[in-house]
Amino acid sequence: MAFLDDAGHKLVSDAVTAAEAHTSGEIVTVLTDRSDGYTDVALLWAAGAAFTAMSVFAAFPRPFLDGWDLAFGGWGHQWSTGELASMVIGLGLVKFIAVMLVQQWEPLKFWLIPGPTKTIRVHNQAVRQFKVGADRRTTGRTGVMIYLSMREHRAEIVADESIAGQVPAEVWGEAMGDMLVEIRKGRIAEGLAVGIRDVGFVLAQHFPRGENDVNELPDRLIEI
């Protein structure tokens, strides 16, 4: 799914070019729909719902059995142990499948994912993308990645060793804040451009551009 049109991509690329004009640092931007499939979380919700349903049945079996007799037979009868076990397993299975199916509706699925889980998954994916696309790929190890994950509403700024050694992580807070202000308004390209500008300002202070500096990483936005 593409979030930006050609004009949006150009705005981001131009912002990277402008920011790198004053620093030897290299800025990479990544925009993704989501950072994880969260299948394990969906399975946990489904399993929890299934075991809850089975536990409620075990604690209060009579309403279930009376309802079954009324719906399908009209006459009560003595339930055997095997029939009761089958009823419990069947109820759990139906509940499990039903909860898995409802989570196919993505707004609900992502609403059910705990915030800390989203934060950890986005951070881990940002680090993975950085290692693939920017880590140790510059001469002075001065790469910075701005990573934006749309479904989770999370962003990360990951820096190479040389930068992390001189710029505390808290310094990126202003860039992150300025960027998210625009993104919350639906202005994704503008938000990225603002974040790039702020990151470039910090890099220019610590890593000014040298005479023989060359562009080592692409300025274009990477959408995945």
135: Cβ–Cβ under 8 A, 6 or more apart, which residues? 143, 160
Question: Could you tell me how far CA 80 lies from the centroid of its own chain?
Answer: 49
31: Cβ–Cβ under 8 A, 6 or more apart, which residues? 3, 4, 148, 150, 188, 192, 221, 222, 223, 224
Domain limits of the chain? 6-36+114-223, 39-111
CATH, range 6-36+114-223:
3.10.310.50
**How do residues 57-78 score in pLDDT, each as one tens digit?**
888 877 777 776 666 665 556 7
Structure tokens at 139: 């001469």
- Asked whether the beta carbons of 151 and 37 are under 8 A apart, the reply is no
Concatenated DSSP letters of 72-127: HTSS--PPPHHHHHHHHHHHHHHHHHHHHHHTTSHHHHHHHS-HHHHHHHHHHHHH
- Asked whether the beta carbons of 22 and 134 are under 8 A apart, the reply is no
Q: Pick the closest to residue 94 from 54, 45, 41 (CA basis).
A: 54
What's the whole-model pTM score?
A: 0.84
- Asked whether the beta carbons of 31 and 221 are under 8 A apart, the reply is yes
**How do residues 162-183 score in pLDDT, each as one tens digit?**
888 888 878 888 889 999 999 9
Q: How big is the chain by its Cα radius of gyration, in Å?
A: 26
Dihedral sign for Cα atoms in the order 19, 25, 28, 29 = negative
Separation CA 223–CA 4 (nearest Å): 9
Burial class (CB in 10 A: 0-12, 13-18, 19+), 12: buried
**How do residues 185-222 score in pLDDT, each as one tens digit?**
999 999 999 999 999 999 998 888 877 777 777 789 99
- What is the average pLDDT value for the chain, to the nearest integer? 87
Average pLDDT of span 124-150: 83
**How do residues 32-58 score in pLDDT, each as one tens digit?**
999 999 999 999 999 999 999 999 888
Dihedral sign for Cα atoms in the order 92, 95, 101, 102 = negative
